[in-house]
Amino acid sequence: MTHAITLHDITKSYDGFTAVDEFSLEVQRGTVFGLLGPNGAGKTTLIKILTTLMRPTLGDAFVEGHSVLTAGKEVRRMIGVVPQENNLDRYLTARENLALHAKLHGMRPAAYNPRIDELLDMTGLAARQYDFPDTFSGGMQRRLVVARALVHEPRVLFLDEPTTGLDPQSRRSLWDHIRGLRRSMTVFLTTHYMDEADALCDRIMIMDHGKTLADGTAGELKDAFSRAHTYQVEFRRDADRYQGVLAGLPFVKGVERDGSLFQITLADEESIKPLMDHLTGPDIRRICLKEPTLEDVFISLTGEKVRE
């Protein structure tokens, strides 16, 4: 068995509203898997199902071969969880937070104390270990939550938007930790940052409305969407006239204008020739093919509208 996580047709409805819709997935052991999607796409719901906090309405999921429905305790033995919102105990010191977690995993002081020392060093919190978390900055609290999820050396680590609210330095250092974990454990993370997914994930899945929209490595996703053929054209003159012309062409799928700079999305590769027939050489200052970013892929899949 090489799959750390398997989902079979998982559906989750909240009285009538379907947050996750017949979702299936297999995540390879030792990889970093990234789940992307706009607000309300169903990412947190999926993580809650996989970490046994919530039961799916239909379907079953397996973590390291254990069913979340029938072997919740075995699943929880395997996993570390960093929830979307920090849930530290503000009446316990940083160190006590980690120690309580270790005890709930049945660890003995002789086993958890050295491990906690190591994690406090790794997250740069050693000097503040006897302080209470509500005296910490947001980034320090986040690192403490990550350290807590690692105390018992989980086989699968779930991170729900681990770097939201962190400064660039803290984000990079957290990325380094996550990269260091790859291979020794499977990492399942959600994020809103395309650069994060690009930098960390071996495989990326984009979801919306509880369904998968795209799946692959960052490179594959960008490749697949470069077939969308977006060209940037900058005009010297007559931009207004060209806007009308472009809008009337059947093979032009989309036009975005910013002054004299146009982003033109074509239906297919062949359409570049008829496009050129409608443009007069001297009117064009610059024309180039636009390399898609992961963000373009994301926007083109999930739309531009802000979610309620």
Ligand X SMILES: Nc1ncnc2c1ncn2[C@@H]1O[C@H](COP(=O)(O)OP(=O)(O)OP(=O)(O)O)[C@@H](O)[C@H]1O
Q: Which of 44, 97, 141, 163 binds Mg ion (CB under 5 A)?
A: 44
Question: Which 147-166 residues touch another protein, going by CB under 8 A?
Answer: 148
Cβ(24)–Cβ(30) below 8 Å? no
141 binds, among another protein, ligand X, Mg ion, none (CB under 5 to 8 A by kind): none
37 binds, among ligand X, Mg ion, another protein, none (CB under 5 to 8 A by kind): ligand X
CA distance 89 to 2: 36
**Taking every pair of C-alpha atoms in the chain, what is the biggest distance, in angstroms?**
78
Q: Where are the alpha helices (DSSP H) in 123-236?
A: 138-150, 168-181, 194-200, 218-226
Angstrom distance (rounded) from CA 260 to CA 67: 57
Edge-to-edge strand ranges of the sheet holding 230-235: 252-258, 261-266, 230-235, 284-289
Residue 34 or 292: the one with the smaller Cβ distance to Mg ion is 34
For 53-78, the three-class secondary structure string (H helix, E strand, C coil) is CCCCCEEEEEECCEECCCCHHHHHHH
Question: How are beta strands 66-67 and 58-63 bridged, if at all?
Answer: antiparallel
2 binding partner (options ligand X, another protein, Mg ion, none; Cβ < 5 to 8 Å by kind): none
Minimum CB distance to another protein, residue 86 (Å): 9
| CB nearer to another protein: pick between 57 and 232 | 57
* Cβ–Cβ under 8 Å, residues 80 and 156: yes
How many other CB atoms sit within 10 Å of the CB of residue 104? 11
Reduced to 3 states, what is the DSSP secondary structure of residue 261? strand
List 22, 60, 96, 131, residue binding another protein (CB under 8 A): 96
By the 8 A CB rule, do 63 and 71 touch? no
Contact between 37 and ligand X (CB under 6 A)? Answer: yes
Which of ligand X, another protein, Mg ion, none is residue 83 near (CB under 5 to 8 Å by kind)?
another protein
Residue 5 near residue 63, CB atoms below 8 Å: yes
Which C-beta is closer to Mg ion: that of 64 or that of 160? Answer: 160
User: With CB under 6 A as the contact rule, which of the stretches 21-29, 34-42, 98-106, 231-239 interacts with ligand X?
Assistant: 34-42
Coil, strand, or helix at residue 35? strand
- The region of 4-12, 24-32, 99-107, 299-307 touching another protein under the rule CB under 8 A is 99-107
Burial letters 55-71, b for 16+ CB under 10 A, else e: ebeebebbbbebbbeeb
The binding track of 44-83 with respect to ligand X, each residue x by CB under 6 A or -, is xx--------------------------------------
Contact between 77 and another protein per CB under 8 A: yes
Residue 39 interacts with, from another protein, ligand X, Mg ion, none (CB under 5-8 Å by kind): ligand X
Q: Is residue 15 involved in binding another protein (CB under 8 A)? A: no
What does the per-residue mask of binding to another protein show for 49-68, with x meaning CB under 8 A? --xxx-x-------------
- Would you tell me which residues interact with another protein (CB under 8 A)? 51-53, 55, 73, 76-77, 79, 81, 83, 85, 87-92, 96, 100-101, 103-106, 148
- Would you tell me which residues interact with Mg ion (CB under 5 A)? 43-44, 84
- Would you tell me which residues interact with ligand X (CB under 6 A)? 14, 19, 37, 39-45, 84
